Structure formats: C-alpha cells, structure tokens
Amino acid sequence: MRLIRLPGLFFLFLLIASCTSQSFIQDKELSVEHKIEALLSQMTLEEKINMTHGNTKFSTAGVARLGIPDLMMSDGPHGVREEIKPDSWEPAGWTNDSASYFPTGTALSATWNPDLAYRFGQALGQEARARDKDIILGPGINIMRTPLCGRNFEYMGEDPFLVTRMVVPCIKGIQEQDVAACLKHFALNNQEFERNTINAQLSERALQEIYLPGYEAAVKDGNVFTVMSAYNKVRGAWCSENPYLLNDILKKQWQFPGIVISDWAGTHSTVEAANAGLDIEMGTNRPYNEFYFADPLLQAVKNGAVSEKTIDDKVRRILTVMYKSGIFNENRSEGSFTTQEHFDIARKVAEEAVVLLKNDHNLLPLDKKKIKSITVVGDNATRKHAAGGGSSGLKALYEITPLHGLKNKISADTKLKFAQGYKRTTKFTWNKGVLNFFDADEAEQLRKEAVAAAGESEVVIVFAGLNHDFDTEGTDRQNLVLPYQQDLLIKEICDVNPNTIVVLISGSPVEMPWHKQVPVIVQGWYAGMEAGNVFADILFGDVNPSGKLTFTFPEQLEDSPAHSLGTYPGQDLNSDYSEDILVGYRWFDTKKINPLFAFGHGLSYSSFQYSDLKLKAKISPEEGLQVSVNIRNSGDRPGYETAQLYLQDVECSVIRPDKELKAFEKVYLQPGETKNIKFNLKSKAFSFFDEKEMQWKEEPGLFKVHVGSSSRDIRLSGDVLID
Ligand code: BGC
C-alpha cells in the first residue's frame, strides 16, 4: 500500500483510518517519524507505560495489537550472556547458548587498534542478533580512576582520548548488525565499593575533560542508540534521576535521540526519574507492575506529576531505536553465532592486546626447536575465566587455557611439566595489605613442588595474576597485592631459575615486588576464548607482541592519585575527586612519580626508530596542526608499532597535565621498512574546559608536541606556538 505524503493531523487521520498498523509499520514510502507518530496516536497510556519498564529480567513489553514486539536485551560487553529464566537469575537451561567469548574491554583497548574494535563490535552484534537480541548491554567505558575498581577489566582504561577512539568503531560495528549497543555506565561508576550509594563530587572541568568525552563521542560520532545510567550518585543525584547528566548534557547538549535505560535495580523514584530523563526502568526487585515506571508512573501521569508529553517522548525514543535497529524491517539481519570468523576475531584481538612489559636478554621469543624443557606454574595456567566477573560473564563455547595453548604449540621433543604452585581459595583475609593465609601448609606444599619443578627445567612460565574473584562486579580489590602468596612463589622460583617468565592474567594493575628479578613479564589480560593459543604464539614468537598499556601500573597503590590523596573510597558515601583532571598518567607525569609500567608502554620483538618530526612552528588559534613523523622497523621481524602523540601546554592560565594523549596510529612495518605517519590535531586538542566560561578554551602560547612509543618513552619533541 502507498500513501501520498500529507502533513500533520490530516495525514495521521488518513493513515490510521486507512491501514492496519502492521502494514504501515513496514511501508517504505512513509517516513519513520510519521510511522512513530501514527503508532503513538493509537496507543493507550497504559500501553505506553508498559514499554518503559521491564516485563522480564531482560525485556520490556511491546504492543502486540499494533505489531510492536517486546524489546529483548542481553549482557554484554564481551559476548552474549547465557540465557536466564524470564523472571529469575537462574540459567534457562538452554543447550545452544554457548557463545563466542571475546577478550574483555581492557584487552580490546590495549590493541590500540580502532579497526579491531570495529570488527569486535561486528562479531558481538552478529552474535546478539543470532540470539534474537535487540540491545546488547555494552560497551562499558568508565574511566579507570582507581586500580582497585572491580570492573576495570570490562572498561577501556584511563585515558579519555583512547576511549573515544576505541568506543566509536565498536559501537558502529555492533549497530550495523541491526542491534542496539548500550553504552554503560553513565556516568562515574568508577568504583564498585558502595556503588549504589556513593556520590561522586567533582569539578566541571574533570567531568568534561576526563569522564565525559568517551560518552560524547559515542553519542555524536558513534550514534549509539541506548545508554545505561550508572548506579551511583553524581553531585547528590542518582544517575538514573540526574537531570544535569541525562536531560541537560545527554539529551539537550549532545542531542541524544535514543533511550536511557536504568542499570538493573538502579531506579529510585518515579516522578524524579521520569522527569530527569530516564526512559526505561530495568531490574527492580519487585513485581513488574510495581516498578517505579509501572503502576506508580501511570498514577503520576494521572495526577499530573509527570506529563503525558514526557511519556510520549520516552515511547518515541523507544520506537526510534526499534526502527533504527531494524526491528520492523522484514530483512533484518539474522546475525551469526559461534562462527570461525568470530573465533578468528577473538584471536586477532587477543594477539594485538597482549603487552610485553619486560624482556631482558631477549629471553623471548622462545625457540620451539631448541627448547628442551618447560615448567608451567600457576592456577591461571588451567583456569577458565569466561563465566566470571558478574554480569559480563558468559557461557563460552570453548576457552583455550594457557596450558592447553602451550601443549598445542610445543614440539614433541620438549618436556612440559605443570605444577599448580598456588591455589585459588577464599580462605584468607587481608590485614592492611598483609595476607593471613589459612591453608598455609597446603600452600607451602604447592609452592615447594613448583619451585622444585622450576629448578629442573630450562624455562619456567608462571601464569600468575588475578581471577574473577578479584576482577569482578560488585566489589573492589583491597590492595594491589597478588593474592594466594604468589609474590613469594615467584620470588622462590626466580631464586632457582633465572629464566622465569611471568604472564599476568588480570584486567587491572598488580604490584610486582619481584619485577627486577624476573627477566620477562607479559600482561595477558582476560584474552577470550583463544587466550591460551595466543599466549603460546606470543611466547614462541609466531606473533610479535604489539599491545600497549591503557592504564598506569603504579609501583605501589599510594602512588596513584585517588589513593595518594586518600579520596578513595570516600567518606560518608561521598567520593571527592580532588585529584581533579590528574587521573592516571596525567597524575604520575605531573607529579613526577615513576610508575612501574607507564601508560602506553608495550614492547615488541622488533625495534622502531622515530625520525623527521615535522610540524609548523606557529599556528593561529582554531587552525589545528598537522604533525608528521617517520617510523622505521629496525628489527628483524615484521611488527606493529603504536606511535603516540602527547601535547604539553607550556604557557597556560590553569594547571594542565604534563602530557595528554591527543593522537595515535598503529602501523605495521616489515623489517627495514619506513612509514610516514601524519597526525591531524584539531584546535580542540589544544584546549581545556574553562569553568568560568563553561566552555572549551584554546589559549595562545607555547605547546610542546611529544611523539613516542609510550607516555614515558618520548622519542621526538617539537614546539608550536599558538599566536
Ligand atoms: C550491571 C550492568 C548489567 C546489568 C544487567 C548490572 O548489575 O551493572 O552492567 O548490564 O546488571 O545484568
């Protein structure tokens, strides 16, 4: 059926009178806006309100008589979660919901490869569609403010620019598959401790410069369809009823046309939340009709506390997202599930994520043909991580453990011995950073066995680190100490075998009191279903490492800003962000504190030389700057290098960090090959958020441009004057 385009009410009248909703919903000649208005005009208030709250744990109601289906959601962010029963958290018992398990957020960001973020997004979106989901609850981009935050592993590190570059393609990749991404957690859910009640107090400048840029880019450049409000409060108001964050910034300033979904059980009111910009309430622990956005919302509209216009706005947004996600499209993408292509993407992301932190005497890569004996130590050598960590956990189709990966790799002539070394246990307590261990005898026994085995082999590989008892939703770590007395184990192993390689499995930094003694340290992350194969590829040199840290590893916890200032975890449920804009390396650089491993650090089996830095000596305000540099692979194997550009504002009326990342480029170079890289800096890159004028401001004066291989390995610097 075709209808000629007629304006306004007459159009609506004609439309409603002359067709069934099911038919016009798909009519290609009508604009989506017209269809949405037509649908809205046929809905009762009750039907509209039904669309604004959960009707199962992970869906909201549609309006069947109008052809509007329920909206189906799933966690995120690194794979599609196991199917649970509609009304409880128990597994639904499906046998076909074992999904691809992709590397988690910290690993993805450590690739510094936006193209991989896009492919990750595509694969995730395809898996979500194949499981018939409309919204996948991810990605998560809360800035790493403290290394202790239990959910750091899900996020993308400490730098707003890096987050921006990675999150946009990830969202595009997801949404091109006819499924909505849900960007979380908006905003400042930077600690899990007291996450439901903690109140983040921070300056406008810190908000604008550090904590919001990723979200803004996701909205404006990534066109993200949905956003999840965070559990915590910001400046006294819960994020789910925070008019400044939701209405003023997100919906008005950024013109976000999509849906704000509450975090699960993160809604605290009806009228405040409805008027502050929340669109959908999820996860409340009450019968569905008693949700704040169910019967109480109906009542609030009837008594005038919330206008029907406000409800219409929410439903309009929901319908808009439904249209954009192809829900009404006959040819909606069907997605694909657990395909070889997805496994390959999981593997590729992991390959580019693993960070070689230290490689003394070029102990790595190991030579498969020469090596005769290896001892593998550690609980993480055999542990699978996919199911852990809270809401992001999933049922993986498979997960290659490190030990499995090594067995796949080594030649038949190499002897491989495994020793547990330490055991995962909950039988310990911390007393001011000191571990009280209750299984001391057993622990000693395991350690002794491992040390003995270590002494008998050519090389020892210790798979140490954390697991999802520590990197997890709902709690923060208490300190940076490796649990289960791993420090002691590593030290004793080093004492008997100088060829000790430590591979850390974690999503956040740990202290390494043994770092000087251990020649090789690798940060392996939670690297997804192919983790074990990838670690073996890296250790044996089939893959040249290219990951770079996306957050600082402090020497000790007290060195990092919130801990140095004593503002974590906050007092009386207030967390005062007094470190302000000096988050992560911005703090370490400005305060001249040496980190254990710096932001942006990551070695390769190749070496790279930087030369020919070129930039204009003088630019006018608002002109922007092009910087060009040559990078040469001076090693003997092909590899990637990520060149990073940092700006330093030398003359400024406000405090500015010593360095701020403003551009980066990952390049692949054959041995001896040189490539020229051009960085284009827009004028905003030079600016700061001026709290007096409440806008970004570019001040004239001298800037230094630093280009290097990490934030602490600057190879070339130049000056530019803004005049
Ligand atoms: C988490 C969200 C998650 C939701 C649904 C909450 O506890 O904070 O990230 O999407 O649960 O599982």
649 beta partners: 703
DSSP state of 461: E
The two three-digit tokens of residue 546, written as one number: 């290219």
Q: How far is the CA of 229 from the centre of ligand 1 (A)?
A: 10
The two three-digit tokens of residue 223, written as one number: 């066109």
Return the pLDDT at 318: 98
Q: What is the DSSP string of 192-203?
A: -TTTTT-EEE--
Return the pLDDT at 434: 74
d(CA 275, CA 308): 11
Q: Three-state DSSP class for 534? A: helix
Q: How far is the CA of 391 from the centre of ligand 1 (A)?
A: 5
Cβ-Cβ contacts under 8 Å for 489 (sequence gap 6 or more): 377, 421, 422, 447, 450, 451, 462, 464
Q: To test ligand 1's pocket by mutation, which of 83, 142, 391, 394 has the most ligand atoms within 8 angstroms of CB?
A: 391
High-pLDDT (> 90) share of the chain, % = 93
Cβ-Cβ contacts under 8 Å for 289 (sequence gap 6 or more): 295
Return the pLDDT at 3: 33
Return the pLDDT at 21: 58
Instruction: Burial-class residue 340 by CB neighbours within 10 Å (0-12, 13-18, 19+).
Output: exposed
428 falls in which pLDDT band (50, 70, 90)?
confident
22 falls in which pLDDT band (50, 70, 90)?
low
DSSP E strands: which ranges in 66-170? 71-75, 135-137
pLDDT over threshold 50, residue 253: yes
Q: How far is the CA of 472 from the centre of ligand 1 (A)?
A: 12
pLDDT over threshold 60, residue 152: yes
Top pLDDT among 7 and 663 is at 663
Q: Which of 364, 380, 361, 400 is nearest to 522 (CA)?
A: 364
The two three-digit tokens of residue 681, written as one number: 């800096």
pLDDT over threshold 50, residue 655: yes
Nearest CA to ligand 1 atom 6: 264
pLDDT over threshold 90, residue 534: yes
Return the pLDDT at 559: 98
Q: Which of 517, 512, 511, 466 is nearest to 493 (CA)?
A: 517
DSSP E strands: which ranges in 125-204? 135-137, 180-186, 199-201
The two three-digit tokens of residue 455, written as one number: 């002494």
Instruction: Burial-class residue 28 by CB neighbours within 10 Å (0-12, 13-18, 19+).
Output: exposed
Nearest CA to ligand 1 atom 8: 263
CA of 391, closest atom in ligand 1: 12
Long-range contacts formed by 440-446: CB under 8 A, 24+ apart: 443/484, 443/485, 446/419, 446/420, 446/421, 446/422
pLDDT over threshold 90, residue 432: no
382 alpha carbon, distance to own chain's centre: 25
Return the pLDDT at 78: 98
Strands 226-229, 259-262: pairing kind: parallel
Report whether 543 contacts 533 (CB < 8 A): no
pLDDT over threshold 50, residue 325: yes
d(CA 406, CA 540): 9
The mean-pLDDT minimum among 22-36, 172-186, 239-253, 283-297 falls in 22-36
Ligand 1 pocket, residues with Cβ under 6 angstroms? 75-76, 137, 184, 263-264, 391
Q: In Å, how far are 264, 278, 590 from 267, measured between CA atoms? A: 8, 9, 39
Q: To test ligand 1's pocket by mutation, which of 137, 188, 190, 284 has the most ligand atoms within 8 angstroms of CB?
A: 137
DSSP state of 176: T
Residues acting as catalytic residues: 263
Top pLDDT among 20 and 316 is at 316
Nearest CA to ligand 1 atom 3: 391
2 falls in which pLDDT band (50, 70, 90)?
very low
The two three-digit tokens of residue 209, written as one number: 């410069």
Cite the DSSP H helix spans in 481-599: 486-496, 531-539, 561-564, 585-590
d(CA 191, CA 151): 8
**What does the mean pLDDT of the chain come to?**
95
Return the pLDDT at 23: 67
247 alpha carbon, distance to own chain's centre: 24
pLDDT over threshold 70, residue 287: yes
pLDDT over threshold 90, residue 14: no
Report whether 659 contacts 708 (CB < 8 A): no
Return the pLDDT at 5: 37
Return the pLDDT at 357: 98
Nearest CA to ligand 1 atom 7: 264
Report whether 100 contacts 529 (CB < 8 A): yes
Return the pLDDT at 20: 57
Cβ-Cβ contacts under 8 Å for 317 (sequence gap 6 or more): 257, 258, 259, 279
Total residue length of the chain: 723
pLDDT over threshold 70, residue 12: no
Q: How far is the CA of 316 from the centre of ligand 1 (A)?
A: 24
Phi-psi group of 612: left, alpha or beta (phi > 0 → left; psi -120 to 50 → alpha; rest → beta): left
High-pLDDT (> 70) share of the chain, % = 97
Q: Three-state DSSP class for 210? A: helix
Report whether 185 contacts 228 (CB < 8 A): yes
Q: In Å, how far are 156, 181, 240, 598 from 205, measured between CA atoms? A: 21, 28, 22, 24
pLDDT over threshold 70, residue 11: no
The mean-pLDDT minimum among 11-15, 258-262, 349-353, 670-674 falls in 11-15
The two three-digit tokens of residue 179, written as one number: 């499924």
Q: Three-state DSSP class for 540? A: coil
430 falls in which pLDDT band (50, 70, 90)?
confident
pLDDT over threshold 50, residue 7: no
Average pLDDT score over residue span 604-629:
97
Q: Which of 505, 588, 626 is nearest to 153 (CA)?
A: 505
Residue whose token pair is 């990078």: 631
Q: To test ligand 1's pocket by mutation, which of 394, 473, 475, 476 has the most ligand atoms within 8 angstroms of CB?
A: 473
Helix axes 114-130, 160-175, angle to 10 degrees: 40
How large is the C-alpha radius of gyration of the chain? 26
pLDDT tens digits, 551-581: 999 999 999 999 999 999 999 999 999 999 9
Report whether 100 contacts 161 (CB < 8 A): no
Report whether 171 contacts 218 (CB < 8 A): yes
pLDDT over threshold 50, residue 435: yes
CA of 189, closest atom in ligand 1: 8
360 falls in which pLDDT band (50, 70, 90)?
very high
237 beta partners: 234
